[in-house]
Amino acid sequence: MAKILVIDDEKTIRDALRDILEYEGYDVDEAKDGQEGLDMVLASQYDVALCDIKMPKMDGLDVLLKAKEEGVITQFVMVSAFGNVENAVEATKRGAFDFITKPPDLNRLLVTVRNAIEKSNDVEVIKTLKKRVYKLNEIVGESPLITKVKETIDRVAPTEARILVTGPNGSGKEMVAKQIHEKSNRLKRPLIEVNCAAIPSELIESELFGHEK
């Protein structure tokens, strides 16, 4: 059963959305303000969050941004009485799945929720497949040298230190890098692989850090 979180400071809206969604067979929780909603999203895994924009304690767009920064896979559908283009564009930039206006059209709401749940399921499948791929890159062995490498990875991975991995071709540098990422505080964020040797020296800075004309 899909889990949905309704984040809205208006009790009448929360009650109405709960009745509609529970009638459709969804498991529904409520949060009465932005901060409570963010805490619940971070503490439990929801498929979809229906989130108001104008709320006390924390704006809905800030809830969305902070949740995405923490790597939450919950799909956010922003709901607002202020259905202007600026809000919709800003919500999309911050990672919202969709934007609908109050009072929401029932058919539009349910279609959006179903689509968001499918997207959430797809993200979860990709996440599981990535974990399996990382398992394929797990360092195997119990020799003194392999043990030392594993201990070094465990020691440096949780830190903010810059790490340089060196060794001849085929020695497993990429495997070590992936294990460091797997054990780091950035696990929920993507590991970006860049083949610096394939990028001309005059373009490498722009490729890594971007540029402005």
Q: What average pLDDT does range 123-130 have in this prediction?
A: 64
In the chain, which segments carry CATH 3.40.50.300?
137-209
Write out pLDDT tens, residues 73-117: 889 998 887 766 677 777 788 888 888 888 888 888 899 999 988
Q: Does residue 203 or residue 134 have the better pLDDT? A: 203
CATH class of 137-209: alpha beta
Tokens of 180: 């460091």
The pTM (predicted TM-score) of the whole model is: 0.60
Q: What average pLDDT does range 152-177 have in this prediction?
A: 90
Indicate the fold that domain 3-129 takes in CATH.
Rossmann fold (3.40.50)
Answer whether residue 136 shows pLDDT above 60.
no
Write out pLDDT tens, residues 31-56: 999 999 999 999 998 999 999 988 88
